Amino acid sequence: MRRIRVPRALAQAGAAASVALLAHTLTNLALVPAPRPQPRARIRERVSVLIPMRDEAHRLGPCLTSVLAQQGLDDLEIVVLDDGSTDGTGDLVLQLADGDPRVRLISAADVPPPAGWLGKPWACQRLGEAATGDVLVFLDADVVLDPYAVATSVATLRAMDVELVSPYPRQIAVTWLERLTQPMVTWSWIATLPMPLARTSNPVWSAAIGQFLVIDARAYRNAGGHEPVASCVVEDVEVLRALKRSGYRGVPMNGGHLASCRMYDGTAEVVAGYEKSLWSVFGSHSRAMAMATAMIAIYAVPPVVAMTTPDARARRWGVIGYLAGVVGRAAVAHDTGERVWPDVLAMPASATAFAALTLRSMHRHRQGGLTWKGRSVDC
């Protein structure tokens, strides 16, 4: 009897949590801002698009070309920081800009991060100091924008009366591990972050992505810029939390119709990229372990029980849990413009892969020696 009760209890618990998260996901999708490109948007204030680059020659072309093609902006400056690249990134920036007066290139080859600073926060701090706009748009070099992405995002920032919006780009996934993991980037916060609380100035309820951050310049500087997050591997969420601690507000957005991003190119980059950061996403190793365990229990255990137990009731619970996970993933993928079928059917494998990457990141962090683009990210 015990052999039957344990699988049934596991399937019931996982399915109940999966159904609850599905309900929360569907509620959030109705609340999350999801602006479409606004061809009529006209931004009069000065906007600074700020792009940190380190050895990005292989992919900066589509990004910078899309920034140069932005519409609806009366006063745009584009500041690119070449952060000690060795692949000709800076030269390619100048070549693509072709003398466009809106583009300014800063070379940081002779200014490495000071003690206590990681590479990206330091690059963003320097960009923020160099910017002259009323609105700062931090953009990663692997993001490609719709022609009205910046104007629409700034218009949304002002219309919502907040100091930060973070449009999560549509995640482009090609290889098998990308297809398992990258859709989780947006799904994870839509499934778990209560949007009514996210709209408050409470820093606990925060989500943002450094791929695309739109910030009021005055609020950014009042909150200390990137200095409060100098040693943070995941600096994007911490920038929002620093703003909130200063009394400001900011929200994530579904930016799938405004921008796209292939975050990692292939299996090796996926592993290395998440290895360097997932340990820090949850604030501590114990929280990371708890999250990895929960993902397995909620999204992997029920379908495993459904396929392996002779108990009909346990199998039914397992199927319910599996279907709730698939429907939640499908709803988010549909709304963000990401691939739906057949990828969402692999939700148990996605949860398992993400949990495994989290555990690997924790292990590597304990060992020490984590690096990214030739720099240490241990802290």
pLDDT for 87-104, tens place per residue? 999 999 999 999 999 999
Q: Is the pLDDT of residue 3 over 80?
A: no
Q: Are residues 68 and 175 in the same domain?
A: yes
**Pair (48, 84) in one structural domain:** yes
Is 374 a member of any domain? no
The 10 Å Cβ neighbour count of residue 135 is: 23
Q: Are residues 141 and 236 in the same domain?
A: yes
CATH number, domain at 53? Answer: 3.90.550.10
The model carries a pTM of: 0.94
Last residue of a domain, one of 245, 264, 283: 264
Does one domain contain both 79 and 13?
no
Reported as a pLDDT band with limits 50, 70 and 90, residue 4 is low
Residue 362 lies in a domain: yes
Q: Identify which of 77, 80, 114, 83 has the alpha carbon closest to the alpha carbon of residue 94.
A: 80
14 lies in the same domain as 143? no
3-state secondary structure of 102: coil
The whole-number pLDDT of residue 372 equals 72
Do 71 and 23 sit in the same domain of this protein? Answer: no
* Contact status, residue 186 vs residue 32, Cβ threshold 8 Å: no
Its domain, for residue 123, covers 43-264
Q: Which two tokens stand for residue 368?
A: 């020490």
pLDDT of 246 over the 90 cut: yes
Q: How far is CA 372 from CA 213, 255, 277, 326, in A?
A: 21, 26, 10, 33
pLDDT above 90 (res 108): no
Of 264, 283, 308, which one is at a domain's C-terminal end? Answer: 264
Q: In this predicted structure, what is the pLDDT of residue 378?
A: 67
pLDDT above 80: residue 78: yes
Task: Please check whether residues 339 and 243 belong to one and the same domain.
Answer: no
H helix intervals, the chain: 2-31, 60-68, 89-97, 119-130, 149-160, 176-181, 184-192, 195-198, 217-222, 235-245, 267-275, 278-281, 285-295, 301-308, 312-336, 347-367
Place of tokens 């949860």: 351
Q: How many CB atoms are closer than 10 A to CB 123?
A: 26
Which of 264, 285, 302 is where one domain is finished?
264
Q: What is the pLDDT of residue 2?
A: 52
246: helix, strand or coil: coil
- Edge to edge, what strands does the sheet with 250-261 contain? 103-107, 73-82, 43-53, 135-139, 212-216, 164-171, 250-261, 143-145
Lowest mean pLDDT among 168-182, 210-224, 361-375: 361-375
Q: What is the pLDDT of residue 228?
A: 95
User: Does the residue 348 lie in any domain?
Assistant: yes
Percent of the chain with pLDDT strictly greater than 70: 98
**Are residue 69 and residue 211 in the same domain, yes or no?**
yes
Locus of tokens 């996926």: 270
The verdict on residue 307 lying in a domain is yes
Distance CA 308, CA 311 (A): 9
Q: How far is CA 254 from CA 163, 267, 341, 363, in A?
A: 17, 26, 20, 32
pLDDT, mean of residues 212-239: 95
Give the amino acid at 196.
P
What's the whole-number mean pLDDT along residues 346-368?
92
pLDDT digits (tens, 9 = 90+) for 276-332: 888 888 877 888 899 999 999 999 999 999 999 999 999 999 999 999 999 999 999
φ, ψ for residue 372, nearest 5 deg = -150, 125
